[in-house]
Amino acid sequence: MSAPGFTNLSSSVNYNQNSTPNGGDAPPYQNGPAQTYQSMYPPTGCYGAPPQHQSYPTIPAHSTPAPSKASMTNSVHSANYYQSNHQQQQQQQQQQRPVPQHHVAPSPYSAPPSQPVPSSGPVPPHAQYNQQLQHPPYATPGSYYGPQSYHPPPAQHTSQQQQQQQQQPTLVPAPASGPGAPLHPIVSYPSAPGNSQYGTLSSSQNNTTPGVLPTQMGAPLHQYSTSRPASTTAAQPGYGVAPPSQLVPTVNGQGSTVHQHYDRSCQSSLSYNTYSGAEADQLPSGTPSTSVHSSPGHHQGGDTSSSSTGSASPVPNSYDSLEGGNFPDSMPPSNDMTNQAAPYGSYGYPNMQQGYHQGPASHADSSPSHDPYGQSSYQQYSQPFPNLSQLSAALGGLSGVPELEVEALTPINLLQERSLLPPRPLEAPEPNLSPELKKVNCSPQTFRCTLTSIPQTQTLLNKARLPLGLLLHPFRDLQQLPVITSNTIVRCRSCRTYINPFVTFLDQRRWKCNLCYRVNDVPDEFMYNPVTRSYGEPHKRPEVQNATVEFIASSDYMVGTKRLQVNDNSTTNQLRPPQPAAYLFVLDVSHNAVESGYLKYFCDSLMENLDKLPGDSRTRVGFLTFDNTIHFYNLQEGLSQPQMLVVSDIDDVFIPSNDSLMVNLKESKELVKDLLTSLPAMFSQSRETQSALGPALQAAFKLMSPTGGRITVFQTQLPTLGAGALQSREDPNQRSSNKGVQHLGPATDFYKKLALDCSGQQIGVDLFLLSSQYTDLASISCISKYSAGSIFYYPSFHFIHNPAQLEKFQRDLDRYLSRKIGFEAVMRIRCTKGLSIHTFHGNFFVRSTDLLSLANVNPDSAFAVQMSIEDSLADSSLACFQAALLYTSSKGKRRIRVHTLCLPVVNQLSDVYAGADVQAITCLLANMAIDRSITSSLSDARDALVNAVVDFASAYKSNVSNLQQSGLVVPAAMCLFPIYILALLKQKALRTGTSTRLDERVFAMCEFKTQPLEQLMRMVHPDLYRLDNMSDQGALHLNDTVVPQPHLLHLSAENISRDGAFLLDCGYVFYLWIGKCCNDMFIRDVLGCTNFASIPPNMSHIPELETPLSQRVRALLDWLQDNRAFSSMMHVIKDDASTKVTFFQHMVEDRSESASSYHEFLQQVQQQMSK
Amino acid sequence: MAFTFAAFCYMLALLLTAALIFFAIWHIIAFDELKTDYKNPIDQCNTLNPVSDPPPPSCVLVRGARGVPGPSGSEGARGLVLPEYLIHFFFCVMFFCAAEWLTLCLNLPLLAYHVWRYMSRPVMSCPGLYDPTTIMNADILAFCQKEGWCKLAFYLLSFFYYLYGMIYVLVSS
């Protein structure tokens, strides 16, 4: 029995590890949920939980209640327990043991017995466990607590404990296992109580800590089985544990000697607790794990450690003040705070520590724990909020807010001030918040607001003439992400907001929602025992310490969540367990496609990445090719080679075989490889020029609709057959017309409707368009736009003639195939009462006013949201936004990623301007302009952009600036606004007068809608550096490499000199421009060529030379590429090459044949202002 | 007092306007449901737009297999937009035939608005006005709601006007 549970745990651990970075999930992960799961989805076994089932036949009874996990109380457990279900017993025992022990016999406190309790069974697991994690920590916790309990000598403690227990009577009858009971009585359990509270935390810890938990889990199970007999009798308030915590502190000091005894035994017990928590949904106390962690301190002796911990806490006080809540009970918050925070930073796990800290912290016990943890753990502690601190450091370590504000408000006359660019790329402005809030606020890379100071009323917003909106990158790859497993995810009861760092704790039992201001109860699981008060430190939980957290939704919670989020129609989804990862590749194999030669490269790339496709053992793949017919491939396991099935009836597409077209990747890997090897050759002779894209997509839809998943479409020409056939709408003569551009919208709604059907079946469609002629991307892109897919476009793709595109295609494919993916996702954005969402931008389907339906979600797509202020925000000084993304990981786990952003509310126009984020504003305006150009016209959109500058400048002039100086005056925070808008107007998507292919224009528009802000800004306004005279002044020293930091240059040809070498960073591509008179040394050292003339014309790599200059340049390039999802291409452009046009078209401040220069633009703005 | 064609037109218009009032109310409720998150925009648009062709069989099959209920409820109330326009157009023609110029003039702006509205609808393969992908945009939602209220007011006023007109025609002739 124990075994199954154990396995689950282990899996969970793995999951966590993955998750932190990319969120890979191990399906089996949830022990507790699994049970419920079974009940719910017995046959599916999707969760990998099934084994548990078998192992615990009795479970069923348990399972039935499971659905209502949240509600489930300890009593339920107890009932189960009595029923004699092993699991239950185990769980209960774990949790309750401590309690029962207490009840049963204070006498049991004698230390010796306790040791035996751990029983040999558990021991082995321990060993493993230790190895994986830090052994000491675990052990310590147990010991730590244990000693306390043992120390009964402090009669007070014992009595307290007992009292507490009695008070908490509710939960479980003590599952006292005969043997275990005496032992358990040991204080260790008291710690357990802490666990109960923190149970959630602990679970999370499990996740985060690699491997550790699993072992623990397993061990506990064993123990339980053995101990089981003991159970019975006393129904103690297992949860009563909380009280012990109070005791604990005292105990620690006293019981040091005892501790050693306990170590192992305690560990085992602890492990049990954790296990039970994890497994049993019932136990709100899933947290136990946390307690376990805490135990580690035990080894070394709590006393010593305690001192250290105390010192570590810098933050605590501030936190309290922030929250505004009084925590009468929890006096020593400071230590806890720091500790908790630290853990997170270092590991995904911070939770564990929290749990630990919380209990002990109040009594200053926490300190002991530190030592036990060993150095690593210690470090964690010592660095509270490592993430945050790093972040802030990364942000440039801005200091005084007032200074900033003043600086941001300095009026600048744009007509006189010529050099506006900061030396380094612009960072996001920091909101004017208290340092504590700043520390926990969401990263600007994830969540950015156009106005970091929210105006109080719509009137004020209108006066400011700036758009209010959010730029979101919710699923981006994170280095550190606290993952929380909890039976009950704490949310506001009226608005369903997830608890976050910006809520207010009124007291220990109540918190006030920061979005709707409703006062909610803190559930027991979150803060277990209010009566005893000792453990009540809900404000130390990871959810309350991190603005970005990820919950692993237990199975029944998941269903509930879905129902809540989806509203009435969602019932459809409730029946559906998390889907397996499913990938279908739809490949164009018409003559045109074969000609372009992409097929071979795609097959090679997929072959390489086959093992990297995110997924688990259930991953399914399928292939479908089409020209004027549709070809299916039967890859059923057992076939000697793939079977091709041709359906030529494209008017009424049907699926020739039901179950063998989408196959399990693991089982049919050989066949898949066979197919990938033979595919390019199979169609090499194709003469078919027609393309039946529409029918192929319909077929793909039918194939995928039972599971949902991702369809990847490769298309190389205009679809000409069947449904969705399109005609060329582009008139090449109009490409450079000034009159406005036609056909930016779709020609047919076929693709849109199909996309909506796909979205309804949780299918995302990604489009790779590789074509040399017009393909009507405006129509075809709808298939991805509304199914939350992504779009890739390679104009003039040819495997020989266009090596640059080929390389980009290959790199993109590598990233695309291996990047993280979330299935059947929905994202809801909530905001403080008074704010409302006006419009969404991005690829998705808007299901309701604040809910986006994302069939697939990928880490590279971003969203923009326009907001409006409906009611005055005067009654609060902070405005918060919360984006919650619920998705199924590729491992079949339901997860919720929650980001919360907190911003100050201001009532002065000058404050609004001081907090304006010019980059975010530009991106939001770009999105709005693109909408406008589709619904209205391109010229309208361009006018609107110019008007945005004009309106802003006039508003500033008339309302804020009291200088009566002539000229164009804007606040320093917005001084780049005109440049960015001008750059936008010259961008492919919005430019006129320059020859632009319709497809490229439409693609640029799609990019604007989905690219994250940093990428977008580089596309709009590339960064220009001079490379040939870089100095080490101000250089970054990363590890062993020196990364020079050349200054940004204005995008003007006057900054380009013939004797220099310049790097232009356009996001997806770097241009290295080499002037004719460029220093030969630079050419030799960096490019490896003797002189300018010998540089090859299509150079696209920087050779790895051992010269210092080359190393600097490459270090800079690597540094710039860091954190970019798709690696950028490099083009070396010679001064005399014809390609230099591509370089100079990025010089947006210069006048071009069809567009004005920056100075002219400013004058135009000034003219319009005076009208 | 004679029962003229004009009187008949007024009586007919009276009845039809009552129906239009119902439509307008239904329209307002529909958008309110959208706004309050009570309905899925796809379903709602399917009910708002006349559904000319049944959903592809494949969809039906798939949904059935999944145990997913199709668009819920209001099958009977499907596609009220086009009928509304047609009814309005119909009694405008009737008034034209009855030479009730004043009444016709009063209705012409709305008729023109309907024509414009239908001409500027999003690209759709089936008749209808509402695109589920854009309907949730706050501007469009607000516009549609405002449109509903304005029409309701207009139909209510015209209801009483027709009542008056009918009596007037009956009495005067």
A447, containing H or E segment: strand A447-449
Beta-carbon neighbour count of residue A1080 at 10 Å?
12
Q: Model confidence at A340, in pLDDT bands (50, 70, 90)?
A: very low
pLDDT for position A576:
64
B62 in contact with chain A, both atoms CB, cutoff 8 A: yes
Structure tokens at A1003: 């693609």
pLDDT for position A816:
93
pLDDT for position A600:
92
Whether A897 has a pLDDT exceeding 90, the answer reads yes
Question: Cβ contacts (< 8 Å) between B72 and chain A: which residues?
Answer: 568-569
For residues A244-268, give the mean pLDDT.
Answer: 35
Question: Cβ contacts (< 8 Å) between B38 and chain A: which residues?
Answer: 567-568
Residue A1047 DSSP one-character state = P
| Interatomic CA distance for residues A26 and A47, integer angstroms | 9
Contact A848 B41 (CB under 8 A): yes
Whether A39 has a pLDDT exceeding 80, the answer reads no
B53 in contact with chain A, both atoms CB, cutoff 8 A: no
Q: Exposed, middle or buried: residue B92 (CB in 10 Å: 0-12, 13-18, 19+)?
A: buried
Burial A815-854 (b: 16+ CB within 10 A, else e): bbbebbbbbbbbbbbbbbbbbebbbbbbbbbbbbbbbbbb
Tokens 């027709």 found at? B162
Q: Model confidence at A1104, in pLDDT bands (50, 70, 90)?
A: confident
Tell me which range, A674-688, A1096-1110, B146-160, is most confidently predicted by mean pLDDT. Answer: B146-160
| Interatomic CA distance for residues A180 and A229, integer angstroms | 9
Contact A839 B34 (CB under 8 A): no
| Interatomic CA distance for residues A985 and A1003, integer angstroms | 16
| Interatomic CA distance for residues A681 and A152, integer angstroms | 80
pLDDT for position A46:
34
Closest CA to A361 of A328, A319, A332: A332
Which regions of chain B does DSSP assign to beta strands (E)? none
Q: Model confidence at A95, in pLDDT bands (50, 70, 90)?
A: very low
A401/B117: higher pLDDT = B117
Q: Which of B34, B38, B59 sits opposite A757 (nearest CB)?
A: B59
Percentage of residues in chain A having pLDDT higher than 90: 25
A1131, containing H or E segment: strand A1129-1134
Contact B69 A572 (CB under 8 A): yes
Dihedral sign (CA A173, A178, A184, A186): positive
Q: Model confidence at A168, in pLDDT bands (50, 70, 90)?
A: very low
Tokens 């010089």 found at? A1147
Instruction: Kindly report the nearest CA distance between residue B172 and chain A, in angstroms.
Output: 51
Tell me which range, A58-62, A562-566, A1033-1037, B55-59, is most confidently predicted by mean pLDDT. Answer: A1033-1037
Q: Model confidence at A924, in pLDDT bands (50, 70, 90)?
A: very high
The crossing angle, in degrees rounded to 10, of helices A242-254 and A188-208 is 100
C-beta separation of A748 from A717 below 8 A: no
Q: Model confidence at A357, in pLDDT bands (50, 70, 90)?
A: very low
Question: Cβ contacts (< 8 Å) between B132 and chain A: which residues?
Answer: 756, 845
Tokens 């450079």 found at? A736
Residue A172 DSSP one-character state = P
Instruction: Kindly report the nearest CA distance between residue B78 and chain A, in angstroms.
Output: 18
pLDDT for position A1037:
82
| Interatomic CA distance for residues A885 and A844, integer angstroms | 13
Lowest mean pLDDT among A154-158, A1161-1165, B119-123: A154-158
Q: Model confidence at A404, in pLDDT bands (50, 70, 90)?
A: low
Nearest CA in chain B to A758: B59
- Spans of chain B below 70 pLDDT: 1-2, 50-80, 173
Q: Model confidence at A403, in pLDDT bands (50, 70, 90)?
A: low
A806/A109: higher pLDDT = A806
Structure tokens at A235: 């129904």
A-B contacts at Cβ under 8 angstroms: 85
| Interatomic CA distance for residues A850 and A738, integer angstroms | 38
Query: Tens of pLDDT along A969-1004?
Result: 888 888 899 999 999 999 888 888 878 888 999 999
Structure tokens at B25: 């109310």
Whether A58 has a pLDDT exceeding 60, the answer reads no
Whether A77 has a pLDDT exceeding 70, the answer reads no
Query: Tens of pLDDT along A1061-1088?
Result: 899 998 888 998 888 888 888 888 888 8
| Interatomic CA distance for residues A278 and A33, integer angstroms | 8
Query: Tens of pLDDT along A546-561?
Result: 899 998 887 654 533 3
Instruction: Kindly report the nearest CA distance between residue A994 and chain B, in angstroms.
Output: 28
| Interatomic CA distance for residues A919 and A401, integer angstroms | 20
Q: Which of A575, A752, A848 sits opposite B37 (nearest CB)?
A: A848
| Interatomic CA distance for residues A782 and A852, integer angstroms | 16
Tokens 């209808």 found at? B128
Nearest CA in chain B to A841: B137
For residues A577-584, give the mean pLDDT.
Answer: 88
Whether A381 has a pLDDT exceeding 90, the answer reads no
A1097/A567: higher pLDDT = A1097
| Interatomic CA distance for residues A776 and A844, integer angstroms | 20
Structure tokens at A642: 């793939």
Lowest mean pLDDT among A573-577, A663-667, A805-809, A849-853: A573-577
| Interatomic CA distance for residues A324 and A329, integer angstroms | 15
Residues on A contacting B at a C-beta cutoff of 8 Å:
567-569, 571-572, 575-576, 653, 698, 701-702, 705-706, 745-750, 752-753, 756-757, 760-761, 786, 836-840, 845-851, 866, 868
Beta-carbon neighbour count of residue A140 at 10 Å?
39
For residues A501-506, give the mean pLDDT.
Answer: 88
Longest dimension (CA), chain A: 95
Question: Cβ contacts (< 8 Å) between A776 and chain B: which residues?
Answer: none
Whether A344 has a pLDDT exceeding 80, the answer reads no
For residues A1030-1039, give the mean pLDDT.
Answer: 78
Which regions of A554-594 does DSSP assign to beta strands (E)? 582-588
For residues A1038-1054, give the mean pLDDT.
Answer: 85
Contact B138 A839 (CB under 8 A): yes
Query: Tens of pLDDT along A939-955?
Result: 899 999 999 999 998 88
C-beta separation of A794 from A587 below 8 A: no
Confirm whether the ipTM is greater than 0.85: no
| Interatomic CA distance for residues A719 and B132, integer angstroms | 25
Query: Tens of pLDDT along A362-373?
Result: 333 333 333 333
Strand, coil or helix: A332: coil
A83, containing H or E segment: helix A74-83
For residues A708-713, give the mean pLDDT.
Answer: 93
Contact B38 A567 (CB under 8 A): yes
Q: Model confidence at A1155, in pLDDT bands (50, 70, 90)?
A: confident
Contact A706 B136 (CB under 8 A): no
Query: Which residues have C-beta within 8 Å of that of residue A919, sequence separation ≥ 6?
Result: A426, A428, A980, A1013, A1017
Nearest CA in chain B to A574: B68
For residues A525-548, give the mean pLDDT.
Answer: 68
* DSSP structure string for A845-874: EEEETTEEEEEEE-TT--EEEEEEE-S--T
Beta-carbon neighbour count of residue A273 at 10 Å?
44
Average pLDDT, chain A: 69
C-beta separation of A887 from A822 below 8 A: yes
Q: List strands edge to edge, sheet with A835-841.
A: A447-449, A469-472, A863-869, A835-841
The crossing angle, in degrees rounded to 10, of helices A2-19 and A86-96 is 70
Contact A706 B66 (CB under 8 A): yes
B41 in contact with chain A, both atoms CB, cutoff 8 A: yes
Query: Tens of pLDDT along A611-648?
Result: 989 988 889 999 999 999 999 999 888 888 888 999 98
Lowest mean pLDDT among A421-425, A814-818, A867-871, A1022-1026: A421-425
Whether A1032 has a pLDDT exceeding 80, the answer reads no
A261/B120: higher pLDDT = B120
Query: Tens of pLDDT along A454-477?
Result: 999 999 999 999 999 999 999 988
